Amino acid sequence: MDEFITPWYLCPSCHQKYQNELAIDIANKFVSFVRRQYLDDTQRQAEALYVKLRALNNMLDRLQPVQKREAGVTADVLISLIDQMKNYAPLSKHYLWFEAIAHGAHGYIALEEGTEESARRAVTHFEEYLEVFEAIGDAEGIAHAKASIAIAKSMYEGGSNEEVLEASQELYELRVAELGEKNELTIDSGKVYAMKLQDADRRDEARELSVKRLATSKQVLGPHHKTTKDVEFALQEVEFALQEDDDDDDDSDDIEAREPVTDPLYESILFVSLLIGMLGMLYDISLQKTECHSGSLEQ
C-alpha cells in the first residue's frame, strides 16, 4: 500500500512532502487515476481520497470556501467507503486510521469557522475521532483527539486553558517516549506545547523547550525546513514576550500593572491552526505505523 501512495505525496527528488496547491493538484490527479484504473477497487479509492484529504487539510486555513466544502465532501465519501468495506470483512487498523482521520478532518473544518456553534459541531466530530482511536488502541491518536476536544470546548465553555495545556503536554511526552526527541512529529508537538506554556505565563519553560527543539530540528531536518522555521518563529514569540516582561519590570513609572490584552477566540483559532498541522503529521505517521497492519480484503 505504501508504495502505491508514496509517489503521490512525497517528492522523489528532495524526499519532502508536497505542499500547498501543488499537493492538492497532485492528489486530484491521483484520485482521477484511481477512478479510471481501479473503478471497482474500494481500497484503492479510499487510499486516494486519504491523500487528497491530507493535502486539503494541511492548508485548511488558506482554502477558498469551495475548497473547504470539497474537503468536507472528501471526508464524507471516505467515511462512506470505509463503511462499505466493513461489510466485507473486519478492517485492519490501516483503514480504521483512515476513518479516524476523516472524522478529525470534519472536526477541523467545523472548528476553523471560528464560531461557538461550529465549535460544538467540532466536538461531536472529535468525539467520533476519539472513539475510533480508542477502538484500535492508538495512544497517540487518543492524545491528539483529547487535545482537539479540549481546544474546541474552550471556544464556548471558557476556562479550559489548563486542559489544553495538559493535553498538549500529554501528546508531546507521548511522542518523546514513542518516537524519540529527533522525530519531526515530536519536534512539532514540542512547539505546540511551548506555545501553550507561554499562554500560561510559564515563559521561561517555554523558552527552554523551544531552544532545545530548535537545535534538534536544525540538526535533524536542516535549518531551512518548514518545521525548523516554525519552531524558530515560536521561539522568537517567546523571547519577545520575555523582553516585554523585562521592560515592564524596569518601568518604575507605571503605577498600575498592565493587563495583557488577549483575545481568547484569536488564541483558540491560532491553536487550531497548529493542531491542523499536527493532524497533517498524523496523516504521515499513519502510513508508517499501520504499514505492518495493512492486509488485503476479499471483495
Q: Domain-by-domain residue ranges, the chain?
A: 183-249
Flag whether pLDDT at 16 surpasses 80: no
Flag whether pLDDT at 208 surpasses 60: yes
CA dihedral over 72, 288, 215, 226, signed as positive or negative: negative
Flag whether pLDDT at 20 surpasses 50: yes
Locate cell 501553550: which residue?
196
Instruction: Calculate the average pLDDT of the chain.
Output: 80
Cα separations in angstroms, 20 against 41, 53, 59, 286: 28, 12, 6, 20
Flag whether pLDDT at 80 surpasses 90: yes
What pLDDT does 266 receive?
45
- Average pLDDT on 214-239 reads 90
- Average pLDDT on 269-274 reads 52
Q: CA 234 from chain center: how many Å?
A: 17
**In the numeric block, which cell numbers belong to residue 172?**
508531546
**In the numeric block, which cell numbers belong to residue 271?**
491553536
- Average pLDDT on 101-106 reads 92
Q: Which of 67-71, 224-228, 230-234, 290-294 has the highest mean pLDDT?
A: 67-71
Residues 6+ apart with CB under 8 A from 91: 82, 85, 297
Start-to-end Cα distance in the chain: 17
- Euclidean distance between CA atoms 276 and 47, whole angstroms: 20
- What are the pLDDT digits (tens) for 112-128? 888 889 999 999 999 99
Report the b/e string of 128-141 with b at 16+ CB within 10 A.
bbbebbeebebebb
Cα separations in angstroms, 81 against 60, 85, 96, 161: 23, 6, 11, 37
Flag whether pLDDT at 261 surpasses 90: no
How many Cβ atoms are within 10 Å of 116's Cβ, its own excluded?
A: 11
Residue 231 and residue 217 in contact, taking contact as beta carbons nearer than 8 Å: yes
Flag whether pLDDT at 101 surpasses 70: yes
Lowest mean pLDDT among 134-143, 228-237, 260-269: 260-269
Residue 183 and residue 175 in contact, taking contact as beta carbons nearer than 8 Å: yes
Dihedral of CA atoms 74, 8, 277, 169 in degrees, nearest 10, equals 110
Residue 285's pLDDT band (cuts 50, 70, 90) = low
Which percentage of the chain shows pLDDT scores above 90? 31
